[in-house]
Amino acid sequence: MPALSTRLTEVLGLRYPVLGAPMAFAGGGALAAAVSQAGGLGLIGGGYGDSTWLANEFDKAGEARIGVGFITWSLKKSPPLLTDVLKRRPAAVMLSFGDPRPFVDEIRSAGAALICQCQTIDHVWDAVDVGADVIVAQNAEAGGHGARRGGFSFTAEVADLLAARKSPAVLVAAGGIADGRGLAAALMLGAEGVLIGTRLWAAEEALVHARHHAAAVAATGDDTIRTTVVDIARQLTWPPGFTARVRHNAFVQRWHGREEALKAAVADEAPRYRQAFAAGDPDNTGVWFGEAAGLIGAIEPAAAILETMVEEARRLIIQKAAGLAPE
C-alpha cells in the first residue's frame, strides 16, 4: 500500500500516521512490533512500573523500531525504570497523567522523541512548555484512563492553540478512533495522525484474554462507563480528575456509586478482582475498552487493522475532495 504522509510520519519516520497506544498490561512487545512493522509506531505500555515485565516485552519486540509509554505519576516513584528503558534505544517515549518536566532532559539525551498525552488545555500548555515533539489530545471516549473533553472540540481547540503559539509540536488525536473514518476526521480537525488504543487492544497480538476480546466484539459504545471503582479494587490512587473507561459489567454495576463501600471492603474485593482478571472473567473485573468497541466486528492482526484504516481514510479523503471540488 502507498504511504499516507503527514507531519507525524515525517517527524517520526513512519509510513502511516498511526501510533499504537501504550496500554498497560495489554500493549506488549509483540503488539508494538506488529504496529511498527505495519508502518506505524508501536508503544509498549510501561504501566505502573514492572522492570522485569518491561525487559521481557522489549525482548519480544526483537529488532523492531518501537517506543514506550509511562503513567507519569507512577514513573515518578521509580525513575530508574526510565533509565533502564532508555538503554533499549526506544524511538519515542510517551508521558501521560502527570508533569513531564522531571523526565524531559533524560529522554532528549537518549535521542528519543518526546510524546506528551494531554487531557486538558493546561496539560497542552505544559507539553508546549517542555517542547514536546508530539502532543496527543486524548478525549473522554478513550478506553482506560482519561478525563472529560469531547473529541471534536478538543482536537480542534488544541490545533488552534498550537497554530497561534507557532509551536512545532505535531498534534495527534486519540479516543474513539477505530477505522479510516476516524483517521480522516482527525486529519480534518487539524491533527497529523492518530493514537489507537481500543482497536489495537482488540488485535490478535494484544495481551488480552480471549473472553475479554469476545466481550468487546459483542459490545456497543453504550456498554462502557467512566468510573473509579476499578482503581479502588486494584488499590491504585490515581490523581483527581482522571477516571477509567471500562466495560459496564456486573462488577461495575455492583460498586459504581458505592465507592466508599468498596474501599471498606477492598481487603476482600481486591483479591477477587485480580483472580477474575487472571481468569479472563468479563463480568467480575475491569475490561478495558472504550467507546470504539462499537466499531469493532472482529479480532484481527494489527497489520490488517492499520492497512484497512489507512486505505479507508485515503479513499474517503479523495472521494470527499472530488465531491467538493468546484465544477
Tell me: do 66 and 136 sit in the same domain. Answer: yes
Q: What is the model's pTM?
A: 0.95
In a domain, 325, yes or no: no
List the CATH number of the domain containing 316. 3.20.20.70
- For the chain, give the percent of residues with pLDDT over 70: 99
Residues 272 and 171 in one domain: no
Answer yes or no: is pLDDT of 267 > 90. Answer: yes
CB 158 within 8 A of CB 126: no
Instruction: Flag whether 2 is in a domain.
Output: no
User: In this structure, are 262 and 164 located in the same domain?
Assistant: no
Question: What is the number of other CB atoms lying within 10 angstroms of the CB of residue 84?
Answer: 13
Parallel, antiparallel, or unpaired: how do β-strands 170-174 and 67-71 relate? unpaired
pLDDT of residue 322: 78
Indicate if 285 and 310 belong to the same structural domain: no
Residue 200 shares a structural domain with residue 225: no
Q: Are residues 139 and 54 in the same domain?
A: yes
The confidence score (pLDDT) of residue 327 equals 57
> For residue 326, is it within any domain?
no
Separation CA 124–CA 224 (nearest Å) = 26
Tell me, yes or no, whether 118 and 237 share the same domain.
no
Residues 190 and 276 in one domain: no
Number of domains present in the structure of the chain: 2
The answer as to whether 235 is a domain residue is: yes
Q: How many CA atoms lie within 13 A of 250 on its CB side?
A: 7
The pLDDT value given to residue 71: 97
Q: By residue range, what is the domain housing residue 75?
A: 7-207+299-320
Phi, psi of 73 (to 5 degrees): -65, -30
CA–CA dist 137, 120 (Å, integer): 8
170 and 34 in a common domain: yes
- 179/116 same-domain check: yes
**26, part of any domain:** yes
Domain-located, residue 182: yes
Tens digits of per-residue pLDDT, 218-250? 999 999 999 999 999 999 999 999 999 999 999
Residue 325 has pLDDT above 90, yes or no: no
Is 192 inside any structural domain?
A: yes
- Whether residues 135 and 203 share a domain: the answer is yes
Same domain, 51 and 141: yes
pLDDT of residue 175 exceeding 70: yes
